Amino acid sequence: MSRERARRRAEREAAREAAAAARAKVERRRARRRALLRRLRPPTRRRAWLLARRSPGQRAAAIAFLVLALAAIWYLVEPTPLRIGLTLLLILVLPVLVIVIFDRRM
């Protein structure tokens, strides 16, 4: 009787070890796949907050437009309160202009 129990215990332990080896093999394969995908995927860069989804060229164009418009306002408009008002209006309207010009949501 004890030989039979010992044989069954040995079979259970062998089955348990085989299952553990299979799980370890699957886990190693998953880890290699994750590492490969991590190497292939380009690194994510931190982007500007306001123009977060824009390409660098689009951001540069929007900022250049803002600077040129501000320069035109401050050079061509004489009354200071009107300059300040137009500056605030331009800053508020800039996101809408970016959406309209680049045809994507901000």
Residue 51 lies in a domain: no
Same domain, 26 and 1: yes
Residue 36 lies in a domain: yes
Give me the pLDDT at residue 100, please: 83
Same domain, 7 and 38: yes
Same domain, 34 and 64: no
Residue 23 CA, chain-centre distance (Å), reads 32
Same domain, 9 and 36: yes
Residue 70: burial class (beta carbons within 10 Å; 0-12, 13-18, 19+): middle
Distance, CA of 13 to CA of 19 (rounded, Å): 10
Same domain, 66 and 39: no
Same domain, 2 and 35: yes
Residue 49 lies in a domain: no
Q: Which domain holds residue 2?
A: 1-44
Give me the pLDDT at residue 106, please: 45
Residue 62 lies in a domain: yes
- Mean pLDDT in runs of 10 for the chain (106 residues)? 89 94 95 89 66 77 92 94 95 87 64
Residues 73, 87 contacting (CB under 8 angstroms): yes
The pTM assigned to this predicted structure is 0.49
The beta-carbon contacts of 66-71 under 8 Å, at least 24 apart in sequence, are 66/90, 66/91, 66/94
Give me the pLDDT at residue 47, please: 55
Same domain, 62 and 96: yes
Residue 82 lies in a domain: yes
Give me the pLDDT at residue 19, please: 94
